[in-house]
Structures are given as C-alpha cells and as structure tokens.
Amino acid sequence: MESIKWTKAYVAPTYSRTEITIEKGEGYVVFDDTGKRYLDFTAGIGVNSLGYQHPEWVAATQNQLSQLQHISNLYYTHPSAQLAQKLCTRTGMANVLFVNSGAEANEVAIKVARKYGHQKHPDKHKILTLNNSFHGRTVTTLSATGQDVFHKYFDPFTKGFDYVQTNDIADLLDKVDDTVCAIMIEMVQGEGGVIPLETEFIEAVSTASIQHDCLLIIDEVQTGIGRTGKLYAYEHYNLKPDIVTSAKGLGNGLPIGAALLGEKVKDVLEPGDHGSTFGGNPVVSAGANVVLDTLTDEFLDQVTKKGDQLKAQLLAVEGVQSVSGLGLMIGVTFDSYTAKEVVEQAKDAGILFLTAKEKLRLLPPLIIDEQAIEEAVSCINHIMNTKVGVS
Ligand SMILES: *Cc1c(COP(=O)(O)O)cnc(C)c1O
C-alpha cells in the first residue's frame, strides 16, 4: 500500500497507473504484493521478451555484474562487442550504435539521416514519417510522431518533418521529393493501434527511397526482437533498410537501444557526432546477448505458430469483432465492449492486457505456451459471455 501512496505523493504524475504493485515475476506470470497471480500479456510493454527469471539471462547479467558493471566508451568491453557482432551478422547491417531507449535510437537515426542529407545537398533534410506513427517522447521524436495530440505544449518542435497518410501511396508520392533525406516507418504501428502496413505501400516506400536517394529507416522498437516471428519485422518483406532502430525486447527488461546502420551510412557519424554515457553497458549487453542467442529460427517459428493460434482462437470468440497484427503483437476489437473495459475485467480475473488506441493489445512474453494462450482466450470468452448475459 505504501508504494501506491508514496508514488502518488512523490513521483511526477505522468502515468495513469493501475492500482497494483507488482512484486515478482516467474516465466510469464507476475505476482502483486498480496500474492495475487496475474498472467502477463503485457511483458512490460513488449520488453520482457524472455519473461521473468529466465535462467540464462539471469546468470549472464549476474555474472557480468560481478565482473564489471560499467566503464566508459573510451574503452572496449566484451559484451557490447559481441552484441554488435551478433546484430550485424544476423541482419546484414554494417555497424551499430548503442543507446538506452527507443527514442534515443530514433534520435540516432534522425541525426544520421540529417547528416547524410546535408552531405548530398544543403536543402536535403526533410524526414517523412507516417500519420498515426509513434517514435518516442523526446522533443525531436515527438516531432517525428505523426499524431497531432503529441504536438502540443512543448513547441517550438524540431522542424523538417512531414507526415504521409498511412498506407496511402498517392499521398506518399505527393510528399516525397529530393529534399527528403529519410522516410521512417513502423512495419506494424504499435501505439497507433496494432496496424500493419500494407505490402503495396511498403514497396512504394522502398521504391521512393531509392528513387530520391533518401534513407529507409525502420523503427523496430516494438516490432523487433522476435515479436512478429522474425528477428525484425522488415524481414517479412523484400526490404533493404538503411537504418533499423531497436530497443524494447532487446534487453529483456534492462534499458538498451540500438541503431543498426547499413553500408551506405555506416561512417556518416564520426568521433564527436554522437555519444551516450551508458550506451553499450556491459551488464545490459550481456543480457541482450542471451536474448539474441535464445531467438533461434526454431524459437521464432514457435512465435509465429503461437501467434497464429492466439489469433485464430480469438477470432472464434463470439463478441470479438476484429483481430490484427503479426506474430505475438496482436490488436483486438469487440462488438459491445471497449478495450478498457476488457482490460479492467481481465485484471480482476488475473490477466494483464494493454490497450493501443481503441484496441486491446496483446504483447505477451515470447516464451508463452499453449496453456497461457488458452487461459487468455478463455478469460476474454468469459468476459464476452458475461456481457451477453447482462444485456
Ligand atoms: C516504445 C516505442 C518507442 C519509444 O521507446 P522508448 O524506449 O520508450 O523511448 C519508439 N518507437 C516505437 C515504435 C515504440 O513502440
């Protein structure tokens, strides 16, 4: 109880929180301070990819803690070197810059794009993003975010962004020209309501980026690290991104962000152009190495399979109106229920879900199993039935 009281008294009120204090996690369940068990379909908003107390991840981070917790980027360390090598080998990207969050990874992408553009032509600095996108909470990533609700209170915002209607090829072609240095997209808009981009639109973005020599930036902060059944969601399509940003699931709960840079831009940033005190932290990196090692092809196939199962079972529930998403990133709407109502009732029944815009959003740890899927679907089924009974 104290934690709720003190948080309300002493923590700045920027979040609307649920009145639960989480004390412990195990696999895909968490426990509150009264010992109540919750099935976790939030994974800390897509972060705890391997769930809680994953043995190898715990061992790797604890072992690294007992060796070296931090040293500046004026020196080398094993864990971040290994992590960079793994990320590049698995994606074919050329090099990586480590930071601490998704917004910071996008800041790196934006800085690289601006410098790349300026090297081509002094006027080449416009960045196109999509309507309904979400790219972070720093002033510049808020500017990149294509939603008016985020463009208030903090002006003047960073200039040089324009917004393309999502999945609207005509609007894209209208707005792209040689002053554009980058187009930045999410393969599935997460915060925007679990909305996947259409294949034709993705192809048009890729073609436009080549025609106008602008960088293709893919924000994989939420979609990356196995969430959609591939290491990165762009791998579902025939795409060659210039920059991929990664964060949430990469650290399995410890803060990390990474901007993966392709051949074309690997040397754009030079010494002094960017930096981060904590970037590439050895403890975080040691854990992230375990995350990548765990995400084998077989593991990723299982994510796809579990995602398909979950989607099919949800669609079969009477009262479910639509199911969207890829892999274990799923959005659901209901005939006669708001997502908020479902979250509230499911919480009482012992399952944690998220919302995204009007949708119920499911982002379980990637290690969930059939039993967890059945428990979640049967809970939603039960909620739907209760409503039918009432009306
Ligand atoms: C969460 C998110 C971000 C911001 O990440 P932070 O770590 O909160 O800064 C950026 N882009 C996308 C697509 C996200 O889902």
What is the CATH number for 107? 3.40.640.10
Query: How distant, in Å, are the alpha carbons of 67, 68, 215, 251, 350 from that of 206?
Result: 45, 43, 9, 29, 43
Q: Please tell me the predicted confidence (pLDDT) of residue 386.
A: 87
Q: Is residue 230 part of a domain?
A: yes
**Which residue owns the Cα nearest ligand 1 atom 10?**
135
Query: Ligand 1 within 6 A of 356 CB?
Result: no
Query: Ligand 1 within 6 A of 221 CB?
Result: yes
Q: Is residue 51 part of a domain?
A: no
Length of the chain, please? Answer: 391
Spatial separation of the C-alpha atoms in residues 312 and 335, rounded to whole Å = 17
Would you say 187 and 197 are in contact if contact means Cβ atoms under 8 Å apart? yes
Q: Is residue 152 part of a domain?
A: yes
Whether the ω angle into residue 156 lies within 30 degrees of 0, i.e. cis, is yes
Going by C-alpha positions, the residue among 109, 330, 92 that lies closest to residue 229 is 330
**DSSP category for residue 197:** P
Total domains in the chain come to 1
Query: Ligand 1 within 6 A of 103 CB?
Result: yes
Q: Which domain holds residue 88?
A: 56-294
Q: Which of 14, 98, 221, 276 to mutate to test the pocket of ligand 1 (most atoms within 8 A of CB)?
A: 221
- Other CB atoms within 10 Å distance of the CB of residue 52: 22
- What does the block give as tokens for 350? 């012992």
| H or E element, residue 129 | strand 126-130
Query: Ligand 1 within 6 A of 251 CB?
Result: no
Q: Is residue 150 part of a domain?
A: yes
The CA 138 to ligand 1 mean position distance, Å, reads: 10
Query: Ligand 1 within 6 A of 258 CB?
Result: no
Q: Is residue 94 part of a domain?
A: yes
Q: Is residue 213 part of a domain?
A: yes
For the CA of 255, the closest atom of ligand 1 is: 7
Q: Please tell me the predicted confidence (pLDDT) of residue 108.
A: 98
Q: Is residue 31 part of a domain?
A: no
Query: Ligand 1 within 6 A of 246 CB?
Result: no
Tell me the pLDDT of the chain (391 aa) as tens digits: 699 999 999 999 999 999 999 999 999 999 999 999 999 999 999 999 999 999 999 999 999 999 999 999 999 999 999 999 999 999 999 999 999 999 999 999 999 999 999 999 999 999 999 999 999 999 999 999 999 999 999 999 999 999 999 999 999 999 999 999 999 999 999 999 999 999 999 999 999 999 999 999 999 999 999 999 999 999 999 999 999 999 999 999 999 999 999 999 999 999 999 999 999 999 999 999 999 999 999 999 999 999 999 999 999 999 999 999 999 999 999 999 999 999 999 999 999 999 999 999 999 999 999 999 999 999 999 999 986 544 4
SS3 of residue 329 by DSSP: strand
Q: Is residue 15 part of a domain?
A: no
Q: Please tell me the predicted confidence (pLDDT) of residue 387.
A: 61
